[in-house]
A and B are shown apart, each in its own frame.
Chain A
Amino acid sequence: MPPMMPGTPGSKGGPGNRHAALLTREKPKNIKRTLGKLLRYIGRSKYLFFALLAVMLTITVLNLLAPMIQQIAIDCITPSESRSGIDKSKLTETLILLAAVYGVSALMTYLQGIFSAKLSQITVRTMRRDLFESLVHLPIKYIDSHSHGDLMSRMTNDVENISTTVSQSIGSLISGVLTVLGTFVIMLTYSPLLTLISLSTIFLTVFVSSKMTKYMKKFFVEQQVILGRINGHVEEMVTGYRTVVAYSKEQDAINDFRSMSDELRRTGIKAQICGGMMGPLMNCISNFGFVLIAAFGGWFSIQGWITVGTIQAFILYSKQFSRPINEIANQYANIQTAIAGAERIFEVMEAEREPLGGSKPFSADNVKGDISFKDIDFSYVPEKQVLSGLDLWVKQGQKIAIVGATGSGKTTIVNLLTRFYDVDRGTITIDGTDITEIPVSELRRSIAIVLQDTVLFSGTIGDNIRYGRSDATDEQVKAAADKAYADEFIERLPDKYDTVLTEGGSNLSQGQRQLLSIARAVLADPKILILDEATSSVDTRTEMHIQSAMVALMKNRTSLIIAHRLSTIRDADKIVVIDRGRVAEAGSHEELIALRGSYYKLYQTQFAGSKT
């Protein structure tokens, strides 16, 4: 099928992502290795692949046969000295044969479509699955240090590219090569001289098309870059629309947009003219070949070297010849893109997985909840020390409030305890066991986290609450929601617990989302609880409710709270003030107030004037 479809069906994903893939596409670093791995994926459906190959081989042979048979048919009706009129019986015979060849060829083409669809879909599915499997096992460090947009682009655009390449390019590449070879041989057997003449136009075709492709690519890349910029501009102006409006910057935004829009138009025209020249030029060359064959063929047939049917056959063959050559040139570029994409995919797959942790037996169900941080050093990037020599103890069932200035390292403590990151120096223990010695999964099962940014998953509200305990009954889910004061608003929703969340819960308010993530933690019911500023954007009255729920929840649980609310902090058993990567002060509210240190200052500034 001519590659005319504007975009493969279902290929989505912003043009911005596409351009990122495009800019880096030029040269895959290690073609051989990547290609080998890619082929191994395709090789998983070995039989399908060979069936496809066989079918394509048949099609090629049949396509080569057809003009030969046509030529015989034409010769049958060409007047000649040896007979009067036409050779009717031979004509009928030949045409029946031709019909058979066409029929089989059509059938094979159908099979080719089916096989290549299956091959590409199965390959891509396996690849996607493997990629996803690697993704969920990537360390947080990897995800934090890579642009999410880039990761997504690998999973969507790059995979999609491979899919189209497998289903289209590989097929046309193979059949192209076969056709060219076959045609060449047949043409030679007919007339070496005419073959030579048609070859000359083919060289011209290849030369011109490769030159043009280079130019087109340049404009195409340019176009994608501008499109990417427009994409970014629109996204920014729309997400920041409130600010744009508040500062009356609409006109500026429009002006910026217009200049980009016009730039896109100009590049688009250039790209289109350049692309538009391709067709007519190729047409010219092929028609030129047409004339050459007709003229020389005519002359040769006058000389009696060839028959008229041969001329007809040659015209068909020369068309068959130049088309696959163009196609091979095009496919080459596609395949290169796909390989570059595959390289990026394999890069993710081969990235080091998150370690499973130690093998020391440890069960989340039997955790008591004593936590200690001993002499911890940590930095995300070398030289920028976040924690240095931090010591921290939390006893079973204690509530600890961690306070400190922004950037003092509060969140890092959470990252280390859950082993999202590992310490540079020092040890963290739970119930006296070094957390690096136990399985990561058991470690995490013993901890529930309510994060600053609420993360919800597509699915129903019930699914989301059940996230930490998939076997919970509806009653348990409801009870947990009730405890987290989420039941009330959920019951008011049209589908209650079966309400489907869209776009990660964008149909809920920030406060509601937070209540849900608290309910999730409640249901998971672990021995250790971490609240990372979770209550900061729930309003005071709701927070009041949550706090009473939390008091109940925190009972018999070790709780680490990173909070900004003094009311939360004051209820803690121990307050830990983090300053410049170490514990500056620790103790109860009263103790710290009496100490008159940095906590006292903090308290004073916040409640200045509220003292009696």
Chain B
Amino acid sequence: MKLARYLRPYLLFALLTPLTMIGEVLVDLLQPKLLSQIVDDGVLPQNMEVIIHTGIIMLLTIIIGGACGVGSSAFSGMASQGFARDLRNDVFDKVMRLSFQQTDRFTTGSLVTRLTADITAIQQLVDFSLRMLVRNLMFLIGGVFMMMQLNVRFGLVIAISLPIEVLIVVVIMKFANPLYTIVAGRLDNVNSVMQENVTGARVVKAYVREEHETERFDGANGALMTANLKVMKLVALLQPLLMIIMNAAVIMVIYIGGLQVEAADLKVGEVMAAVTYVTQILHGIMMLSMMFQSISRASASAKRLNEVLETEPAVADGAGADCTEKGTVEFRNVTFRYPRSGGRPVLSGIDLKIHSGESLAILGATGSGKSSLVNLIPRFYDAVEGEVYVDGENVRNYKLDELRSRIGVVLQKSELFSATAAENIAWGDKNADKAQITAAAEIAQADEFISAMPDGYDTRIAEKGASLSGGQKQRMSIARAVLKRPEILIFDDSTSALDLRTEATLRQRLRESLAGTTVITIAQRIASVKDCDRIAVLDHGRLVGCAPHDELMKTCEVYQDIYRSQVKGGEG
């Protein structure tokens, strides 16, 4: 397993665990032997001294054993928890370096599960293996050894019963494992129907589909029960079968032991000890069978983690850049297609130079490549062909931080974080003081509603801003970008949830306060962008025009189309 290397720093603890464990197991194994001594040398010959003497030895060994046991769990805790922490950190580091399409591919939910549940599963397995695997193996081997010592014939009992037990476990697990996968899938179905009905309650009610949804749920619910019962019935076989074998072995031991006692080869106390050993050995097998279950589960987790760890970040740092300009962007014959999507490129042959301090709008239909185009500037994605230059330097030459510090992006979907309103805005500039934050919020038309919140700027934004309206979230993320004061500011359709009046005021304020900043605006409405210095019109991934509004009205057919659809008759 590739993840084993994470255990290396904790090798000492990992080794100490089984070592101390040996102490504990030895003591446990010694007990039946000491007991047989008490019976055979103390009770039967009626020797009280032996009884007390052996009893004291037993007590002493027990204390040593207990100390060893505590030690081993402490060591294994240090090893497995350290292991888990390092693994977790590495996985998260990796996640933070992935590109968007990579995180998108994993999905948020699955990344969360990988970083928590999967790692916990593996951590438990490590802990389990260090303690239980070693412990049970030692019980097995030690128990067999001790029994052989008592009488070689007992070995026969073990030689027969042990393989049968192992076989039972293997066969049942083999059949059960695929069933567990089915159960997990059906549980997912049940949960997703529930989730849909919680989040989509309005639609369910609006279409009066309560009965239908109940039926749908009933189906998923029933299927889950069937699957669960199937696997539970199968697994219910395991214990009784193992018990039968184990108890048969006990009976055999007593019988064989009886014959031996008659032949005076064996003492009664030894038979009693043998019974205890048999129970211990076979109990060990049961425990090991449990472990196989958790191993198969953890190996699935390990696979999922390796998947993340082995993903190579698609975008990497450059060597460092030497800028010759400030606030300029240039696309040189840029072609772009999303990895894996195949087919026709999203952008093809784009040539466009954006000047310092210019305000440029990008207009076009959905899927015309507007967002893709601006995503190339901060290297959210890399162009497939052609080059993108920022401040006169190829973006691939920059260190990512260096490049992105020059650029502010306000996304279409505003993303806020669980922190106070002020902290969320201060993302743009860690060192900003309260006045600067308020000023930025004021420009973004966010000051008013933030001030009206219960604790003003100190109000905590809960659940990614669930309590805020779409427009409020957008304004807060605009404030964040304004505070950053980047050379190049990109608005990716980020005022879509604002009502008309607010949007107009916001634009006005931005124009006033962002003098000298290169502003790139993606928009749907011509009205929002017609005052821009130039408007770039994209159509099916091609740049079909880039000029001021008036000129486009004369020269660009696509632009005229859009204009007509939006403003027809609007002059009345």
Contacts and interface: CB of A to CB of B under 8 A. Distances in A.
B192 A122 contact: no
B408 interface: yes
B240 A107 contact: yes
A129 B194 CA distance: 11
A261 B498 contact: no
Interface in A277-319: 277, 279-281, 283-284, 287-288, 290-291, 294-295, 297-299, 301-302, 308, 311-312, 315
A277 B200 CA distance: 48
B117 to A, nearest CB: 6
Nearest to A517: B203
Given A294-B51, A451-B202, 16 more contacts: A14-B117, A99-B251, A114-B236, A128-B221, A140-B205, A242-B409, A248-B400, A272-B77, A272-B80, A276-B70, A279-B73, A287-B58, A291-B59, A297-B43, A449-B202, A567-B566
B306 interface: no
Contacts of A129: 214, 217-218, 221
Given A91-B258, A109-B240, A281 B66 contact: yes
- Most interface-central of A110, A246, A275 (chain B CB within 10 A): A246
A249 B429 CA distance: 11
Contact of A302 (B46, B62, B200, B409): B46
Nearest to B268: A78
A605 B258 contact: no
A244 interface: yes
Interface stretch (A37-45, A225-233, A334-342): A225-233
Contact of B202 (A112, A133, A234, A455): A455
B81 A272 contact: yes
A10 interface: yes
Interface stretch (A26-34, A188-196, A532-540, A550-558): A532-540
- Most interface-central of B67, B198, B229 (chain A CB within 10 A): B198
B496 A537 contact: yes
- Most interface-central of A105, A275, A298, A468 (chain B CB within 10 A): A298
A471 to B, nearest CB: 12
Given A241-B100, A261-B85, A418-B206, A247 B427 contact: yes
B513 interface: no
Contacts of A418: 205-206
Interface string B32-54: 00010011001110101001101
Contact of B92 (A257, A265, A272, A590): A257
A298 B42 contact: yes
Contact of A404 (B92, B127, B290, B499): B499
Contacts of B570: 566-567, 570, 607, 610
B530 A247 contact: no
B144 to A, nearest CB: 21
A271 B138 CA distance: 26
Given A10-B180, A73-B254, A283-B28, A240 B202 contact: no
B258 A76 contact: yes
Given A288-B59, A418-B205, A250 B97 contact: yes
Contact of A234 (B111, B248, B472): B111
Contacts of A486: none
Given A78-B268, A288-B62, A15 B116 contact: yes
A95 B255 contact: yes
A263 B500 CA distance: 48
A82 interface: no
B442 interface: no
Interface size class of A (residues with CB under 8 A): 35 or more
A511 B366 contact: yes
Given A241-B103, A261-B92, A610-B570, A566 B69 contact: no
B524 A152 contact: no
A256 to B, nearest CB: 10
Given A113-B236, A132-B197, A458-B193, A77 B257 contact: yes
A234 B110 CA distance: 11
A9 B339 CA distance: 37
B477 interface: yes
B239 interface: yes
Contacts of B195: 152
Given A272-B73, A607-B570, A99 B293 contact: no
B572 A590 contact: yes
Given A6-B294, A248-B401, A540-B565, A607 B527 contact: yes
Contact of B569 (A86, A253, A277, A570): A570
A468 B212 CA distance: 11
A122 B268 CA distance: 50
B501 A602 contact: yes
A135 interface: yes
B22 interface: no
Interface in B172-202: 180, 183-184, 187-202
A276 B74 contact: yes
Interface residues of B, number: 187
A86 B258 contact: yes
Interface string A106-143: 11011011100110011011001100110111101001
A311 B206 contact: no
Contact of B43 (A298, A470, A612): A298
Nearest to B226: A121
- Most interface-central of A237, A247, A262 (chain B CB within 10 A): A247
Interface string A137-162: 11010010001100110011000000
A609 B480 CA distance: 29
Given A243-B477, A249-B427, A406-B498, A110 B183 contact: no
Contacts of B188: 12
B571 interface: yes
Interface stretch (A179-187, A422-430, A439-447, A474-482): A439-447
A132 B201 CA distance: 12
Given A156-B191, A236-B464, A244 B77 contact: no
A373 B491 CA distance: 39
B76 A276 contact: yes
Given A280-B69, A467-B209, A12 B198 contact: no
Nearest to B400: A248
B3 to A, nearest CB: 16
B164 interface: no
Contacts of B556: none
Nearest to B39: A308
21 contacts: A6-B297, A10-B183, A77-B268, A121-B228, A132-B193, A230-B88, A240-B464, A248-B404, A261-B92, A268-B81, A272-B74, A272-B76, A272-B80, A276-B77, A280-B69, A284-B62, A288-B59, A291-B62, A299-B51, A467-B207, A605-B501
Interface string B90-119: 001101110010010001100111011100
A358 B380 CA distance: 56
Contacts of A457: 196, 200
A36 interface: no
A109 B239 contact: yes
Contacts of B477: 243
A234 to B, nearest CB: 5
B184 A10 contact: yes
Contacts of A407: 469
